[in-house]
Amino acid sequence: MTAVHLPGTPVIEGGHLISTNPATGDEAGRLPVATADDVARAVEQARAAGQWWAGLGFDARRDRLLRWRRLLAQRMEELAELVHVEGGKPVADALVEIVSAVEHVDWAARNARRVLGPRKVRSRLILAEFSAHLEYQPHGVVGVIGPWNYPVFTPIGSAAYALAAGNTVVLKPSEYTPVAGQWLVDTFAEVVPERPVFTAVHGLGDTGAALCRAGVDKLAFTGSTATAKKVMATCAESLTPVLLEAGGKDAMIVDADADLDAAAEACVWGAMTNAGQTCIGIERVYAVEPVFDAFVDKVVERAGRLTVGADGADVGPITMPSQLDVIRRHIDDALARGGRAALGGPDAVRPPYAHPTVLVDVPEDAAAVREETFGPTVTINRVRDADEALTRANALPYGLGGSVFGRRRAVAIARRLRSGMASVNSTLTFAGMSTLPFGGVGESGFGRIHGEDGLREFARAKAVTRRRARSPLPSTTFERTPADVDRLVKAVKLLYGRKP
Protein backbone atom coordinates (compact mmCIF):
# COMPACT_ATOMS: atom_id res chain seq x y z
CA MET A 1 0.00 0.00 0.00
CA THR A 2 1.33 3.48 -0.75
CA ALA A 3 1.60 5.97 2.09
CA VAL A 4 -0.23 9.30 1.75
CA HIS A 5 1.53 12.45 2.95
CA LEU A 6 0.88 16.17 2.77
CA PRO A 7 1.09 16.72 -1.00
CA GLY A 8 4.58 17.56 -2.14
CA THR A 9 6.27 17.67 1.24
CA PRO A 10 9.19 15.26 1.51
CA VAL A 11 9.24 13.23 4.71
CA ILE A 12 12.08 11.43 6.46
CA GLU A 13 10.98 8.15 8.00
CA GLY A 14 13.18 5.34 9.32
CA GLY A 15 16.30 6.84 7.75
CA HIS A 16 14.62 7.17 4.37
CA LEU A 17 13.66 10.22 2.37
CA ILE A 18 10.13 9.71 1.09
CA SER A 19 9.29 11.60 -2.07
CA THR A 20 5.63 12.42 -2.66
CA ASN A 21 3.45 13.51 -5.53
CA PRO A 22 2.52 17.20 -5.12
CA ALA A 23 -0.99 16.68 -6.55
CA THR A 24 -2.02 13.62 -4.55
CA GLY A 25 0.47 13.12 -1.74
CA ASP A 26 1.05 9.55 -2.90
CA GLU A 27 4.50 8.18 -2.29
CA ALA A 28 6.67 8.38 -5.41
CA GLY A 29 9.61 6.49 -3.92
CA ARG A 30 11.97 6.33 -0.95
CA LEU A 31 15.72 6.49 -0.70
CA PRO A 32 18.17 6.12 2.18
CA VAL A 33 19.32 9.41 3.71
CA ALA A 34 23.09 9.85 3.56
CA THR A 35 24.89 10.97 6.71
CA ALA A 36 27.99 13.16 6.47
CA ASP A 37 30.08 9.97 6.76
CA ASP A 38 28.14 8.34 3.92
CA VAL A 39 28.73 11.40 1.77
CA ALA A 40 32.47 11.38 2.56
CA ARG A 41 32.57 7.68 1.64
CA ALA A 42 30.78 8.31 -1.66
CA VAL A 43 33.34 11.00 -2.54
CA GLU A 44 36.22 8.68 -1.57
CA GLN A 45 34.83 5.92 -3.79
CA ALA A 46 34.31 8.40 -6.62
CA ARG A 47 37.93 9.50 -6.23
CA ALA A 48 39.17 5.93 -6.57
CA ALA A 49 36.91 5.37 -9.58
CA GLY A 50 38.21 8.61 -11.07
CA GLN A 51 41.64 7.13 -11.76
CA TRP A 52 40.02 4.52 -13.96
CA TRP A 53 37.52 6.87 -15.60
CA ALA A 54 40.12 9.54 -16.41
CA GLY A 55 42.50 6.81 -17.57
CA LEU A 56 39.98 5.56 -20.14
CA GLY A 57 40.63 8.64 -22.24
CA PHE A 58 38.26 10.72 -24.32
CA ASP A 59 37.23 8.10 -26.87
CA ALA A 60 36.32 5.35 -24.41
CA ARG A 61 34.41 7.85 -22.27
CA ARG A 62 32.61 9.14 -25.35
CA ASP A 63 31.51 5.60 -26.23
CA ARG A 64 30.13 5.02 -22.75
CA LEU A 65 28.39 8.39 -22.58
CA LEU A 66 26.82 7.76 -25.99
CA ARG A 67 25.54 4.41 -24.73
CA TRP A 68 23.96 6.24 -21.81
CA ARG A 69 22.48 8.82 -24.24
CA ARG A 70 20.95 5.94 -26.19
CA LEU A 71 19.44 4.46 -23.06
CA LEU A 72 18.05 7.86 -22.00
CA ALA A 73 16.52 8.37 -25.44
CA GLN A 74 15.02 4.89 -25.52
CA ARG A 75 13.55 5.11 -22.03
CA MET A 76 12.50 8.76 -22.03
CA GLU A 77 8.79 7.99 -21.57
CA GLU A 78 9.59 6.00 -18.43
CA LEU A 79 11.67 8.86 -17.03
CA ALA A 80 9.05 11.47 -18.01
CA GLU A 81 6.37 9.53 -16.16
CA LEU A 82 8.55 9.36 -13.09
CA VAL A 83 9.29 13.11 -13.22
CA HIS A 84 5.54 13.70 -13.60
CA VAL A 85 4.62 11.51 -10.65
CA GLU A 86 7.32 12.87 -8.38
CA GLY A 87 7.31 16.59 -9.28
CA GLY A 88 3.86 17.09 -10.78
CA LYS A 89 5.28 18.29 -14.10
CA PRO A 90 3.05 17.58 -17.10
CA VAL A 91 4.43 14.61 -19.04
CA ALA A 92 4.84 16.70 -22.21
CA ASP A 93 6.96 19.26 -20.34
CA ALA A 94 9.00 16.41 -18.83
CA LEU A 95 9.62 14.95 -22.29
CA VAL A 96 10.80 18.32 -23.61
CA GLU A 97 13.15 18.58 -20.63
CA ILE A 98 14.57 15.11 -21.29
CA VAL A 99 15.02 15.77 -25.02
CA SER A 100 17.20 18.71 -24.13
CA ALA A 101 19.20 16.66 -21.61
CA VAL A 102 19.79 13.91 -24.20
CA GLU A 103 21.10 16.52 -26.63
CA HIS A 104 23.57 17.79 -24.03
CA VAL A 105 24.90 14.30 -23.26
CA ASP A 106 25.46 13.74 -26.96
CA TRP A 107 27.26 17.04 -27.52
CA ALA A 108 29.44 16.80 -24.42
CA ALA A 109 30.46 13.24 -25.32
CA ARG A 110 31.31 14.08 -28.92
CA ASN A 111 33.15 17.32 -28.30
CA ALA A 112 35.20 16.73 -25.16
CA ARG A 113 38.33 15.61 -27.03
CA ARG A 114 38.22 18.53 -29.47
CA VAL A 115 37.74 21.13 -26.73
CA LEU A 116 39.84 19.67 -23.94
CA GLY A 117 42.34 17.36 -25.61
CA PRO A 118 46.09 18.02 -25.83
CA ARG A 119 47.12 20.43 -28.52
CA LYS A 120 50.13 22.41 -29.61
CA VAL A 121 49.78 26.15 -29.31
CA ARG A 122 51.90 28.71 -31.13
CA SER A 123 55.08 30.03 -29.57
CA ARG A 124 55.83 33.75 -29.67
CA LEU A 125 58.99 35.22 -31.12
CA ILE A 126 60.31 36.16 -27.69
CA LEU A 127 60.39 32.47 -26.66
CA ALA A 128 60.65 30.95 -30.12
CA GLU A 129 63.08 28.28 -28.89
CA PHE A 130 60.27 26.68 -26.87
CA SER A 131 57.23 24.80 -28.04
CA ALA A 132 53.96 25.16 -26.12
CA HIS A 133 51.33 22.52 -25.31
CA LEU A 134 47.95 22.90 -23.70
CA GLU A 135 45.50 20.38 -22.37
CA TYR A 136 42.57 20.41 -19.99
CA GLN A 137 42.73 17.85 -17.21
CA PRO A 138 39.79 16.76 -15.03
CA HIS A 139 39.42 18.27 -11.57
CA GLY A 140 38.82 14.84 -10.00
CA VAL A 141 35.52 14.48 -8.17
CA VAL A 142 32.78 16.98 -8.97
CA GLY A 143 29.89 17.41 -6.54
CA VAL A 144 26.62 18.34 -8.26
CA ILE A 145 23.74 19.78 -6.24
CA GLY A 146 20.50 20.10 -8.14
CA PRO A 147 17.07 21.71 -7.82
CA TRP A 148 13.68 20.03 -8.21
CA ASN A 149 12.22 22.09 -11.04
CA TYR A 150 14.25 20.46 -13.83
CA PRO A 151 15.43 17.28 -12.11
CA VAL A 152 16.87 15.79 -15.32
CA PHE A 153 18.07 18.77 -17.34
CA THR A 154 19.86 20.60 -14.52
CA PRO A 155 21.97 17.75 -13.09
CA ILE A 156 22.81 16.51 -16.58
CA GLY A 157 23.81 20.03 -17.63
CA SER A 158 26.66 19.76 -15.15
CA ALA A 159 27.19 15.99 -14.83
CA ALA A 160 27.41 15.12 -18.55
CA TYR A 161 30.02 17.81 -19.15
CA ALA A 162 31.96 16.89 -15.97
CA LEU A 163 31.93 13.19 -16.92
CA ALA A 164 32.98 13.87 -20.50
CA ALA A 165 35.87 15.92 -19.16
CA GLY A 166 37.06 12.89 -17.15
CA ASN A 167 35.70 13.67 -13.69
CA THR A 168 33.62 11.38 -11.56
CA VAL A 169 30.43 12.87 -10.13
CA VAL A 170 28.52 12.63 -6.86
CA LEU A 171 25.02 14.08 -7.23
CA LYS A 172 22.84 15.41 -4.43
CA PRO A 173 19.37 15.79 -5.97
CA SER A 174 16.73 18.03 -4.42
CA GLU A 175 14.79 16.45 -1.58
CA TYR A 176 11.69 16.97 -3.78
CA THR A 177 13.03 14.89 -6.67
CA PRO A 178 15.42 12.24 -5.37
CA VAL A 179 13.81 9.44 -7.37
CA ALA A 180 14.57 11.11 -10.71
CA GLY A 181 18.16 11.70 -9.55
CA GLN A 182 18.57 8.07 -8.54
CA TRP A 183 17.13 6.95 -11.90
CA LEU A 184 19.86 8.93 -13.68
CA VAL A 185 22.70 7.35 -11.72
CA ASP A 186 21.16 3.86 -11.91
CA THR A 187 20.87 4.01 -15.69
CA PHE A 188 24.41 5.35 -15.95
CA ALA A 189 25.57 2.37 -13.87
CA GLU A 190 23.85 0.07 -16.39
CA VAL A 191 26.19 1.29 -19.11
CA VAL A 192 29.22 1.87 -16.87
CA PRO A 193 28.96 -1.00 -14.38
CA GLU A 194 32.70 -1.26 -13.69
CA ARG A 195 33.17 1.54 -11.11
CA PRO A 196 31.03 4.09 -9.20
CA VAL A 197 31.68 6.89 -11.68
CA PHE A 198 28.35 8.69 -11.22
CA THR A 199 26.56 8.20 -7.90
CA ALA A 200 23.97 9.96 -5.77
CA VAL A 201 23.57 10.83 -2.11
CA HIS A 202 20.17 11.78 -0.75
CA GLY A 203 18.79 13.92 2.02
CA LEU A 204 17.90 17.49 2.92
CA GLY A 205 20.01 20.63 2.74
CA ASP A 206 22.50 19.31 5.29
CA THR A 207 23.39 16.46 2.91
CA GLY A 208 24.20 19.13 0.31
CA ALA A 209 26.33 20.97 2.86
CA ALA A 210 28.10 17.68 3.69
CA LEU A 211 28.89 17.24 -0.01
CA CYS A 212 30.46 20.73 -0.07
CA ARG A 213 32.68 19.68 2.85
CA ALA A 214 33.49 16.15 1.62
CA GLY A 215 36.64 17.02 -0.29
CA VAL A 216 35.16 17.34 -3.78
CA ASP A 217 37.46 19.10 -6.25
CA LYS A 218 34.69 21.27 -7.65
CA LEU A 219 31.10 21.91 -6.65
CA ALA A 220 28.47 22.65 -9.30
CA PHE A 221 25.35 24.08 -7.71
CA THR A 222 22.00 24.83 -9.31
CA GLY A 223 19.30 26.31 -7.10
CA SER A 224 18.20 29.52 -5.43
CA THR A 225 20.44 32.54 -4.92
CA ALA A 226 20.04 32.28 -1.14
CA THR A 227 21.32 28.69 -1.09
CA ALA A 228 24.05 29.54 -3.64
CA LYS A 229 25.48 32.00 -1.11
CA LYS A 230 25.50 29.32 1.60
CA VAL A 231 27.14 26.82 -0.75
CA MET A 232 29.82 29.32 -1.70
CA ALA A 233 30.49 30.11 1.98
CA THR A 234 30.77 26.41 2.84
CA CYS A 235 33.06 25.71 -0.11
CA ALA A 236 35.20 28.71 0.86
CA GLU A 237 36.21 26.81 4.02
CA SER A 238 38.30 24.47 1.86
CA LEU A 239 38.81 26.78 -1.18
CA THR A 240 36.73 24.36 -3.23
CA PRO A 241 35.92 26.06 -6.54
CA VAL A 242 32.23 26.57 -7.25
CA LEU A 243 29.98 26.96 -10.24
CA LEU A 244 26.74 28.67 -9.28
CA GLU A 245 23.61 28.52 -11.42
CA ALA A 246 21.17 30.50 -9.31
CA GLY A 247 17.80 32.20 -9.57
CA GLY A 248 16.50 34.64 -12.11
CA LYS A 249 13.75 37.13 -12.98
CA ASP A 250 14.01 37.04 -16.73
CA ALA A 251 12.47 39.76 -18.82
CA MET A 252 10.99 39.78 -22.31
CA ILE A 253 11.09 42.94 -24.37
CA VAL A 254 8.47 43.42 -27.09
CA ASP A 255 9.49 46.07 -29.59
CA ALA A 256 7.19 47.99 -31.94
CA ASP A 257 8.00 45.85 -34.99
CA ALA A 258 7.51 42.49 -33.22
CA ASP A 259 5.28 39.72 -34.54
CA LEU A 260 2.75 40.04 -31.72
CA ASP A 261 1.17 36.61 -32.19
CA ALA A 262 4.56 34.92 -31.99
CA ALA A 263 5.53 37.10 -29.02
CA ALA A 264 2.31 36.30 -27.14
CA GLU A 265 2.65 32.58 -27.82
CA ALA A 266 6.25 32.58 -26.59
CA CYS A 267 5.40 34.75 -23.59
CA VAL A 268 2.70 32.36 -22.39
CA TRP A 269 4.94 29.33 -22.84
CA GLY A 270 8.02 31.03 -21.38
CA ALA A 271 6.06 32.21 -18.34
CA MET A 272 3.83 29.21 -17.74
CA THR A 273 5.60 26.05 -18.86
CA ASN A 274 6.25 23.85 -15.83
CA ALA A 275 3.69 26.04 -13.99
CA GLY A 276 6.17 28.91 -14.18
CA GLN A 277 8.71 27.05 -12.07
CA THR A 278 11.58 27.72 -14.45
CA CYS A 279 14.78 29.55 -13.57
CA ILE A 280 14.87 31.09 -17.05
CA GLY A 281 11.09 31.52 -17.16
CA ILE A 282 9.71 34.83 -18.41
CA GLU A 283 8.47 36.59 -15.28
CA ARG A 284 8.20 40.19 -16.56
CA VAL A 285 7.50 41.70 -19.94
CA TYR A 286 8.16 45.21 -21.16
CA ALA A 287 6.09 46.02 -24.24
CA VAL A 288 6.42 49.36 -26.04
CA GLU A 289 3.38 51.62 -25.89
CA PRO A 290 2.13 51.28 -29.51
CA VAL A 291 1.77 47.49 -29.24
CA PHE A 292 1.06 47.15 -25.52
CA ASP A 293 -2.73 46.73 -25.57
CA ALA A 294 -2.79 44.35 -28.53
CA PHE A 295 -0.01 42.27 -26.99
CA VAL A 296 -1.76 42.02 -23.59
CA ASP A 297 -5.00 40.93 -25.30
CA LYS A 298 -3.19 38.19 -27.19
CA VAL A 299 -1.40 36.95 -24.05
CA VAL A 300 -4.62 36.92 -22.03
CA GLU A 301 -6.47 35.07 -24.76
CA ARG A 302 -3.79 32.35 -24.96
CA ALA A 303 -3.11 32.04 -21.23
CA GLY A 304 -6.86 31.87 -20.59
CA ARG A 305 -7.04 28.74 -22.71
CA LEU A 306 -4.53 26.79 -20.60
CA THR A 307 -5.88 23.90 -18.59
CA VAL A 308 -4.84 23.33 -15.00
CA GLY A 309 -4.77 19.94 -13.29
CA ALA A 310 -2.88 16.81 -12.38
CA ASP A 311 -3.00 14.68 -15.52
CA GLY A 312 -2.93 15.80 -19.13
CA ALA A 313 -3.29 19.50 -18.26
CA ASP A 314 -1.06 22.32 -19.51
CA VAL A 315 -0.29 23.59 -16.02
CA GLY A 316 0.41 21.09 -13.24
CA PRO A 317 0.55 21.52 -9.47
CA ILE A 318 3.09 23.72 -7.71
CA THR A 319 5.78 21.33 -6.57
CA MET A 320 6.74 22.99 -3.28
CA PRO A 321 3.63 23.74 -1.19
CA SER A 322 5.39 26.73 0.44
CA GLN A 323 5.73 28.38 -2.99
CA LEU A 324 1.96 28.86 -3.17
CA ASP A 325 2.25 31.49 -0.41
CA VAL A 326 4.91 33.34 -2.40
CA ILE A 327 2.77 33.35 -5.53
CA ARG A 328 -0.27 34.58 -3.61
CA ARG A 329 1.77 37.29 -1.89
CA HIS A 330 3.17 38.54 -5.20
CA ILE A 331 -0.27 38.74 -6.80
CA ASP A 332 -1.82 40.50 -3.79
CA ASP A 333 1.08 42.94 -3.50
CA ALA A 334 0.96 43.79 -7.23
CA LEU A 335 -2.77 44.54 -7.03
CA ALA A 336 -2.45 46.48 -3.77
CA ARG A 337 0.15 48.70 -5.43
CA GLY A 338 -2.17 49.59 -8.29
CA GLY A 339 -1.48 46.82 -10.78
CA ARG A 340 -4.37 45.17 -12.61
CA ALA A 341 -5.10 41.49 -13.15
CA ALA A 342 -5.93 41.04 -16.84
CA LEU A 343 -6.28 37.33 -16.12
CA GLY A 344 -6.41 35.41 -12.84
CA GLY A 345 -5.85 37.46 -9.72
CA PRO A 346 -6.49 37.10 -6.00
CA ASP A 347 -8.22 33.71 -6.28
CA ALA A 348 -5.67 32.23 -8.71
CA VAL A 349 -3.97 30.20 -5.99
CA ARG A 350 -6.02 27.10 -5.23
CA PRO A 351 -3.67 24.54 -3.63
CA PRO A 352 -1.94 22.60 -4.98
CA TYR A 353 -2.46 24.69 -8.13
CA ALA A 354 -1.84 28.26 -9.18
CA HIS A 355 -3.91 29.35 -12.17
CA PRO A 356 -2.48 31.47 -14.98
CA THR A 357 -2.33 35.11 -14.00
CA VAL A 358 -1.42 38.11 -16.14
CA LEU A 359 -0.71 41.30 -14.19
CA VAL A 360 -0.42 44.59 -16.06
CA ASP A 361 0.90 48.05 -15.19
CA VAL A 362 2.52 46.75 -12.03
CA PRO A 363 4.80 49.25 -10.24
CA GLU A 364 8.45 48.36 -10.66
CA ASP A 365 8.97 48.12 -6.90
CA ALA A 366 6.34 45.37 -6.52
CA ALA A 367 7.51 41.92 -5.44
CA ALA A 368 6.01 40.48 -8.63
CA VAL A 369 8.49 42.56 -10.64
CA ARG A 370 11.53 42.30 -8.36
CA GLU A 371 11.49 38.80 -6.83
CA GLU A 372 11.35 35.31 -8.28
CA THR A 373 7.65 34.30 -8.26
CA PHE A 374 8.05 30.76 -9.61
CA GLY A 375 4.41 30.43 -10.58
CA PRO A 376 2.31 30.66 -13.78
CA THR A 377 2.20 34.43 -13.53
CA VAL A 378 3.66 37.24 -15.59
CA THR A 379 3.73 41.00 -15.31
CA ILE A 380 3.40 43.11 -18.46
CA ASN A 381 4.38 46.76 -18.21
CA ARG A 382 4.23 49.45 -20.87
CA VAL A 383 7.36 51.36 -21.83
CA ARG A 384 8.06 54.30 -24.12
CA ASP A 385 10.69 52.53 -26.20
CA ALA A 386 13.29 49.77 -26.18
CA ASP A 387 15.75 51.93 -24.23
CA GLU A 388 13.33 52.28 -21.36
CA ALA A 389 12.58 48.56 -21.56
CA LEU A 390 16.29 47.80 -21.25
CA THR A 391 16.74 50.18 -18.31
CA ARG A 392 13.93 48.45 -16.46
CA ALA A 393 14.93 44.93 -17.50
CA ASN A 394 18.50 45.56 -16.34
CA ALA A 395 17.51 47.16 -13.03
CA LEU A 396 17.50 43.96 -10.96
CA PRO A 397 20.45 42.20 -9.34
CA TYR A 398 19.50 39.02 -11.25
CA GLY A 399 20.78 38.44 -14.78
CA LEU A 400 20.13 34.94 -16.08
CA GLY A 401 18.41 34.90 -19.50
CA GLY A 402 15.94 37.01 -21.41
CA SER A 403 14.01 37.34 -24.61
CA VAL A 404 13.46 40.02 -27.25
CA PHE A 405 10.75 40.15 -29.87
CA GLY A 406 11.24 42.52 -32.76
CA ARG A 407 12.85 42.80 -36.17
CA ARG A 408 15.16 45.68 -36.88
CA ARG A 409 16.75 46.22 -33.45
CA ALA A 410 16.08 42.88 -31.75
CA VAL A 411 19.61 41.46 -31.76
CA ALA A 412 21.09 44.78 -30.66
CA ILE A 413 18.61 44.91 -27.78
CA ALA A 414 19.40 41.30 -26.83
CA ARG A 415 23.09 42.13 -26.65
CA ARG A 416 22.36 44.99 -24.24
CA LEU A 417 20.34 42.83 -21.84
CA ARG A 418 22.39 42.36 -18.68
CA SER A 419 22.15 38.58 -18.74
CA GLY A 420 24.17 35.52 -19.61
CA MET A 421 21.78 34.44 -22.37
CA ALA A 422 19.04 35.80 -24.59
CA SER A 423 16.64 34.43 -27.21
CA VAL A 424 15.49 36.58 -30.10
CA ASN A 425 11.96 35.91 -31.33
CA SER A 426 11.66 32.87 -29.05
CA THR A 427 12.01 32.07 -25.37
CA LEU A 428 14.31 29.72 -23.45
CA THR A 429 15.83 28.27 -26.63
CA PHE A 430 19.41 29.00 -25.56
CA ALA A 431 19.02 26.30 -22.88
CA GLY A 432 18.66 23.52 -25.44
CA MET A 433 21.44 24.79 -27.70
CA SER A 434 24.27 22.54 -26.58
CA THR A 435 26.84 24.56 -28.52
CA LEU A 436 26.14 27.63 -26.39
CA PRO A 437 27.21 28.28 -22.79
CA PHE A 438 24.55 28.64 -20.11
CA GLY A 439 24.89 30.75 -16.98
CA GLY A 440 24.14 34.09 -15.43
CA VAL A 441 25.58 37.29 -14.08
CA GLY A 442 25.10 39.06 -10.74
CA GLU A 443 22.78 37.27 -8.33
CA SER A 444 22.05 34.63 -10.98
CA GLY A 445 25.50 33.20 -10.33
CA PHE A 446 28.67 32.63 -12.28
CA GLY A 447 30.45 29.97 -14.27
CA ARG A 448 29.03 28.24 -17.31
CA ILE A 449 27.55 24.87 -18.13
CA HIS A 450 26.93 23.66 -21.74
CA GLY A 451 29.03 24.23 -24.82
CA GLU A 452 32.79 24.61 -24.95
CA ASP A 453 32.83 26.87 -21.88
CA GLY A 454 30.79 24.24 -20.05
CA LEU A 455 33.38 21.56 -20.79
CA ARG A 456 36.24 23.84 -19.70
CA GLU A 457 34.37 24.63 -16.49
CA PHE A 458 34.96 21.03 -15.43
CA ALA A 459 38.67 20.90 -16.26
CA ARG A 460 41.78 22.81 -15.41
CA ALA A 461 44.12 24.13 -18.01
CA LYS A 462 47.50 22.42 -17.94
CA ALA A 463 50.22 24.35 -19.72
CA VAL A 464 53.53 22.76 -20.75
CA THR A 465 56.47 24.41 -22.50
CA ARG A 466 59.27 22.38 -24.00
CA ARG A 467 62.70 23.57 -25.06
CA ARG A 468 63.42 22.74 -28.67
CA ALA A 469 66.65 24.74 -29.18
CA ARG A 470 69.23 26.76 -27.33
CA SER A 471 68.13 30.28 -26.43
CA PRO A 472 69.57 32.90 -28.78
CA LEU A 473 69.06 35.51 -26.06
CA PRO A 474 69.41 33.65 -22.76
CA SER A 475 67.86 35.59 -19.92
CA THR A 476 66.27 33.14 -17.48
CA THR A 477 69.61 31.76 -16.29
CA PHE A 478 72.43 32.98 -14.09
CA GLU A 479 74.72 32.02 -16.97
CA ARG A 480 73.51 35.08 -18.91
CA THR A 481 75.93 37.90 -19.52
CA PRO A 482 75.20 41.64 -19.39
CA ALA A 483 75.52 41.60 -23.19
CA ASP A 484 72.75 38.94 -23.41
CA VAL A 485 70.43 41.14 -21.36
CA ASP A 486 71.35 44.18 -23.50
CA ARG A 487 70.55 42.26 -26.67
CA LEU A 488 67.23 41.14 -25.18
CA VAL A 489 66.26 44.70 -24.27
CA LYS A 490 67.18 45.88 -27.78
CA ALA A 491 65.18 43.05 -29.37
CA VAL A 492 62.10 43.89 -27.31
CA LYS A 493 62.38 47.59 -28.16
CA LEU A 494 62.65 46.67 -31.81
CA LEU A 495 59.65 44.36 -31.60
CA TYR A 496 57.34 46.22 -29.24
CA GLY A 497 58.75 49.71 -28.87
CA ARG A 498 57.52 50.75 -32.28
CA LYS A 499 54.32 52.59 -33.04
CA PRO A 500 51.59 49.93 -33.24
CB of 240 to ligand NDP, least distance (A): 12
Please choose, from the candidates 200, 189, 166, the residue with its C-alpha nearest in 3D space to the C-alpha of residue 53: 166
CB of 30 to ligand NDP, least distance (A): 15
Instruction: Count Cα atoms within 13 angstroms, Cβ side, for 329.
Output: 11
Among residues 210 and 413, whose Cβ is nearest to ligand NDP? 210
Among residues 345 and 376, whose Cβ is nearest to ligand NDP? 376
CB of 293 to ligand NDP, least distance (A): 31
Active site annotation includes 279 = yes
Among residues 359 and 431, whose Cβ is nearest to ligand NDP? 431
Q: Which residue of this chain has its Cβ atom nearest to ligand NDP in the complex?
A: 208
CB of 106 to ligand NDP, least distance (A): 20
CA distance 436 to 43: 30
Please choose, from the candidates 227, 241, 63, 93, the residue with its C-alpha nearest in 3D space to the C-alpha of residue 153: 93
CA pseudo-torsion sign 269, 147, 13, 82: positive
Please identify which of the residues 212, 267, 279, 452 carries the catalytic annotation: 279
Among residues 314 and 372, whose Cβ is nearest to ligand NDP? 372
Pairing of strands 130-138, 459-467: antiparallel
Q: Which residues bind ligand NDP (CB under 6 A)?
A: 145-150, 154, 172, 174-176, 204-205, 208-209, 212, 222-224, 227, 230-231, 234, 245-248, 279, 372, 400, 440, 444-445
CB of 404 to ligand NDP, least distance (A): 20
Amino acid at 113: R
Quick check: helix, strand or coil at residue 43?
helix
CB of 153 to ligand NDP, least distance (A): 8
CA distance 215 to 217: 6
Active site annotation includes 212 = no
Please choose, from the candidates 279, 280, 282, 285, the residue with its C-alpha nearest in 3D space to the C-alpha of residue 258: 285
Phi, psi at 84, each rounded to 5° = -65, -45
Determine if residue 420 is left, alpha or beta; phi over 0 gives left, psi from -120 to 50 gives alpha, anything else beta: alpha
Among residues 96 and 279, whose Cβ is nearest to ligand NDP? 279
Q: 3-state SS string over 172-218?
A: ECCCCCHHHHHHHHHHHHHHCCCCCCEEECCCCHHHHHHHHCCCCCE
Please identify which of the residues 245, 283, 372, 457 carries the catalytic annotation: 245
CA distance 128 to 470: 10
Cα torsion for 269, 272, 276, 281, to the nearest 10°?
30
CB of 26 to ligand NDP, least distance (A): 20
Among residues 222 and 403, whose Cβ is nearest to ligand NDP? 222
Among residues 406 and 420, whose Cβ is nearest to ligand NDP? 420
- Kindly list the catalytic residues: 245, 279
